Amino acid sequence: MQWTDDGIVLGVRRHGELSVILELMTPAHGRHLGLVRGGTGKRLRGVLQPGNSLRATWRARLDEHLGNFQVEGLDLRAAGFFYAAHAVHGVTHLAALCRLLAEREPHARLYDALEAILESLDNAAAAAPMVARFELEFLAELGFGLDLASCAATGASDDLIYVSPRSGRAVSRAAGEAYRDKLLRLPAFLRQGEPESAADLADAYALTGFFLERRAFAPHGMALPDARARFVAAVLVHNG
């Protein structure tokens, strides 16, 4: 068995003295693991950093085997992340999300969105809304997409400023006013446009965080990763 694909490094773990098990997110083969021999050496250490893009060839005798990767660096952007705390936390958080996906199932749209975020991750102003939108798309990919197109109560598509925590559907200002303390805020930029303030970003992350915790992490007995909270705090300071 053999294939070659682009991939984004999600993480590595040591295997023996010289090798590592590499975890990649690929467009055609999904989240995929494989052994990289000599992965702890100087030549590959800088290549196998979370957030880097690689060209990877995977080989195994049988499809169900772990297999071996041979890799070539394409975009070694991770080195630039070390100078921005939000970027380091962002990569860690995005990798944690991807690990909730079943292995070897392709998610091409998520891959493209992830790559776009990584290209801009050193810019906190650009990355902050991109990650919030990625979380929405991630929920949809898991089958838990939010319905933000029309009001759950009236069917109206205008003045949608709330989301029901029960249904995940948008609620208009008029329909939700009496229940505002029980509803989540829906910032307009999650439907279109860009955030106008740090408060918009905070509302967006409160919204996506609520559903990520309830529908993505809790079923696995997990809490939202600490890296997410650190990333959100850092980008809110940058965008304040």
**Do strands 19-26 and 30-36 pair parallel, antiparallel, or not at all (unpaired)?**
antiparallel
Residue 169 lies in a domain: no
**Residue 82 in this model has a pLDDT that exceeds 90:** no
What per-residue confidence (pLDDT) applies to 159?
96
59 and 116 both lie in a single domain: no
Q: Evaluate whether residue 177 is within a structural domain.
A: no
Mean pLDDT of the chain: 96
Write the pLDDT tens digit of every residue in 96-123.
Answer: 999 999 999 999 999 999 999 999 999 9
Do the bridges between strand 170-172 and strand 160-163 make them parallel or antiparallel, or are there none, so unpaired? antiparallel
Cα–Cα distance measured from residue 111 to residue 83, given in angstroms and rounded to the nearest whole number: 24
Helices 85-98 and 124-141: crossing angle, nearest 10°?
A: 10
Q: What is the CATH number of the domain that holds 48?
A: 2.40.50.140
Q: Is residue 60 part of a domain?
A: yes
User: pTM higher than 0.75, yes or no?
Assistant: yes
* Residue 99: per-residue pLDDT: 96
Would residue 159 count as lying in a domain? no
Mean pLDDT on 18-44: 96
Q: Which of 51, 116, 56 is nearest to 87 (CA)?
A: 51
Confirm whether 7 is domain-assigned: yes
* 144 and 35 within one domain: no
Lowest mean pLDDT among 13-17, 53-57, 231-235: 13-17
Identify whether residues 9 and 69 lie together within a single domain: yes
Render 44-93 in DSSP notation, one character per residue.
HHTTSSTT-EEEEEEE-SSTTS--EEEEEEEE-THHHHTT-HHHHHHHHH
Question: Does the pLDDT value for residue 240 go beyond 80?
Answer: no
Please compute the mean of the pLDDT values over residues 4-16 and round it to a whole number. Answer: 96
162 falls within a domain: no
Q: What residues have CB less than 8 Å from 239, skipping those under 6 apart? A: 124, 125, 128, 195, 197, 198, 201
Residue 40 lies in domain: 2-76
In a shared domain, residues 65 and 20: yes
Give the model's pLDDT for residue 13: 95
pLDDT at 192: 92
Residue 13 lies in a domain: yes
163 within domain boundaries: no
Q: Give the residue from 76, 92, 114 where a domain finishes.
A: 76
For 134-193, how does the pLDDT look when each residue is reduced to its tens digit (9 = 90+)?
999 999 999 999 999 999 999 999 999 999 999 999 999 999 999 999 999 999 999 999
Share of the chain above pLDDT 90, in %: 96
Residues 88 and 194 occupy one common structural domain: yes
- Residue ending a domain, choose from 42, 76, 110: 76
Distance (Å, rounded) from C-alpha 146 to C-alpha 149? 9
The stretch 210-220 carries a mean pLDDT of: 96
Q: How many domains does the chain divide into?
A: 2
Q: Could you tell me if residue 182 is left (phi over 0), alpha (psi between -120 and 50 degrees) or otherwise beta?
A: alpha
Task: Identify whether residues 56 and 88 lie together within a single domain.
Answer: no
Domain end call among 76, 105, 131: 76
- Cα separations in angstroms, 41 against 18, 112, 199: 7, 30, 45
Please check whether residues 105 and 219 belong to one and the same domain.
Answer: yes
> What's the CA gap between 117 and 59, in Å, rounded?
29
Q: Do 108 and 224 belong together in one domain?
A: yes
Q: Please give the span between the terminal C-alpha atoms of the chain, in angstroms, as a whole number.
A: 51
